[in-house]
Amino acid sequence: MNKSKRLIIENTFIKEAFKLGLSLDEFLLLTFFDNAFDLFFDVKTIEDVLQIPEENILAAYSSLLAKNIIKVEAIKNEAGRIGEKVSLEPFYQMVMVQEQKKALTNEKEDIFSAFEQEFGRTLSGTDYEIINAWIDKGFSEEIIKAALKEAVYNNAMSLRYIDKILYEWQKKGITKVEDIKKYWQDNDREIPNFETSVLNFEWFNESK
């Protein structure tokens, strides 16, 4: 075995690779390419490093291509010969999407915790539905949390009140915390007389 080649594997890489249900040979081949060795597909070099049979390498290579985990393009190498250069862009894209989903999940959990802490109770199913609806309508976590703080400041602890705050800010073009701070300063944090709300929600059925 070529001992000058050592495979370095990060935890995130391992988790995401195994989520794809890769075989051991597929995982090893993907790891080989991820270590930024010569990305021209050279069975002999791969065989020397991974110590797996050529037929296993070819099968794993074909499988990774079929699963759209890697892609290849034909270009000339340093010797002027046409070869297949491997790109892990599809795999990295999959990892990025998963990380974004994880971040969104963590963000939602964080915002739900903020409401429970301020309300002093566990959120109901309807509460989750309303908060998720705000998020789906494009309100950022920081804006929703600021509306929650405004409700706390005005001693009006209800999702209905927070919904009306979000509507008022949306109407005034307030989209970030800096806008809110200026709005507070200009209005001396007066309690506004809200006309309507963001959500088409039957607030008269709200029990809390």
Going along the chain from its start, the domains and CATH numbers come out as 11-87 (1.10.10.10), 102-205 (1.10.10.630)
| Angle at which helices 177-187 and 141-153 cross, to 10° | 30
Q: Measure the CA–CA gap between 57 and 47, rounded to whole angstroms.
A: 7
Q: What is the pLDDT of residues 13-44, one digit of tens each?
A: 787 777 888 899 999 999 898 886 567 788 89
More confident: 69 or 199: 69
pTM score, whole prediction: 0.43
25 near 17, Cβ under 8 Å? no
Q: CA 101 to CA 104: how far, in whole Å? A: 5
